[in-house]
Amino acid sequence: MSLILDEEQQLLQTSARGFFSARAPISQLRALRDENVTDCFDRATWSQMVELGWAGIPWPERFGGLAFGFKGLGVITEQSGRCLTASPLISSIWLCGAAILLAGSETQKLHYLPSIANGRHLLAMAFEERLRHAPGEIDLLARRTSHGFVLSGGKRFVLDGISADTIIVAARICNSACDTGGISLFLVPRDTPGVTAVSTRILDSRNVASIDFIDVQVPDSALLGAVGQGPELLDAALDIARIGLAAEMLGSAQECFERTVQHLKDRRQFGVALGSFQSLKHRAAQMFCQLELSRSVVLEALTALDEDRGRPEIAKLASLAKARLGATFHRVTREAVQMHGGIAMTDEFDIGLFIKRAAVADQTFGDVDYHVRRYAELEGY
């Protein structure tokens, strides 16, 4: 498959671009923030996206999807990034949907995927327990009982955790004598007794939750994948979500860059356009180059998902994309503030929303350092 969009994908791109700029422009994010909406995203917009079929694009038709590939979903996600649209695309579709698609039983797939695609369900993934991304460090315990498991422990930084009705929880299975059982994933309804979520609106005006699990009883059927399959499953699902997030970051960075270039053309200082100053030109040109590299790694990673190239290759491409976009988005937003000058420091101007999103997106699913290190490890050095 190729690194460019085919006609169908281009059409999808155009329609997504139109949709987000009309229905979910940056002013929507601002309004959600200022009105203190708990979900931190707009349910009506999400319903429209669901109606357009965007919540199940890559999945097979028998699970309610459109079988249009991850590249299709990536195209939409990138456009949502342009408008900084907050939606459950990353949490519910890219991450949880992927986990169920990868490891769900036929029953689970038939139960969850269509109802995610048609908007009945929203899922969130609870796996972070440390100060920063560390999917390998899971302390939350799942004690075996005669007819299931009892979960105890806490999770943090659960994206859209307050809005989801079902949480996928990564837990360490502990048999009779608290040995080190395998880490496994569980599907837990949010309203299960003992589950308490505290939501915080963070820097980028999105919601993350800290969720406590106090003696939460779940049946055997709550297991997603086999016992002990958690680490590899989590890793694989996260890689898909990392690629999706990278696509979103690409859209945001591209938009922020284009606004900055436009400002360089429009704004006059010292009697000339700001963009005629060579030092700014060079920095703009460097950003352009970084964005081109970014676009290539995102497209390649999406293509690899659709071609199902297998674990080591997809993992490398996910780290390549996430690291590259983390660095590019960081650079573009910092330069955008500096080049816009004082106006970019004011809350009423949009550039500040991009720099905030860049900081959060970088830390989500592993920052630049994390993925550069991971790439080196995957390459075996």
Q: Binding a copy of itself by CB under 8 A: which of 177, 279, 348, 380?
A: 279
Residues 6+ apart with CB under 8 A from 220: 147, 148, 149
Half-sphere exposure of 198 (CA within 13 A, CB side): 6
Site string for a copy of itself, 227-266 (x = CB under 8 A): ----------------------------------------
Among 39, 128, 239, 248, binds other proteins (CB under 8 A): 128
Helix (H) or strand (E) holding 86: none
By a kind-dependent CB cut-off of 5 to 8 A, residue 292 interacts, out of other proteins, a copy of itself, none, with: other proteins
Residues of this chain, 235-264, that bind other proteins according to CB under 8 A = 261, 264
User: Max Cα separation, the chain?
Assistant: 79
Which residue has tokens 């690629």?
Answer: 243
**Looking at 98-106, 110-118, 193-201, 232-240, which segment touches other proteins (CB under 8 A)?**
193-201
Is the CB of 82 or the CB of 322 nearer to other proteins? 322
> Which span (61-69, 85-93, 180-188, 285-293) binds other proteins, by CB under 8 A?
285-293
Question: How many residues belong to the chain?
Answer: 381
Rg of the chain on CA atoms, in Å: 21
Q: 207 contacts which partner out of a copy of itself, other proteins, none, CB within 5 to 8 A by kind?
A: none
DSSP assignments along 92-116, one per residue: IIIIIIHHHHHH--HHHHHHHHHHH
Q: What is the rounded CA–CA span in Å between residue 248 and residue 125? A: 18
Answer yes or no whether residue 131 interacts with a copy of itself by CB under 8 A: no
Q: Give the residue, chosen from 281, 311, 334, 373, that forms a contact with a copy of itself under the rule CB under 8 A.
A: 281
Distance CA 323, CA 135 (A): 17
18 binds, among a copy of itself, other proteins, none (CB under 5 to 8 A by kind): none
CA distance linking residue 197 with residue 193, whole number of Å: 12
Residue 52 touches which of a copy of itself, other proteins, none (Cβ within 5-8 Å per kind): none
Token pair of 359 as six digits = 């900081």
Contacts of 238 (CB under 8 A, 6+ apart): 95, 135, 318, 365
Return the residue of 280, 306, 309, 313 that touches other proteins, per CB under 8 A: 280
Measured from the CB atom, is 283 or 309 closer to a copy of itself?
Answer: 283
Sketch the per residue contact string, 145 through 184, with other proteins: x for CB under 8 A, - otherwise: -----------xx---------------------------
Q: Which stretch binds a copy of itself (CB under 8 A): 9-17, 186-194, 279-287, 303-311?
A: 279-287
349 binds a copy of itself (CB under 8 A): no
- Exactly one of 38, 228, 288, 312 binds other proteins (CB under 8 A); that residue is 288
What does each C-alpha distance from 316 to 135, 241, 295, 313, 326 come to in angstroms? 17, 14, 16, 5, 15
Partner from other proteins, a copy of itself, none contacting 375, C-beta within 5 to 8 A by type: other proteins
Q: Does 278 bind a copy of itself (CB under 8 A)?
A: yes
| Least distance from a copy of itself to the Cβ atom of residue 147, Å | 51
| Strand, helix or coil for residue 380 | coil
Contact assessment for residue 176 and residue 132, using Cβ atoms and an 8 Å cutoff? no
First to last CA, the chain: 29
Question: Which chain residues interact with a copy of itself by CB under 8 A?
Answer: 277-279, 281-282
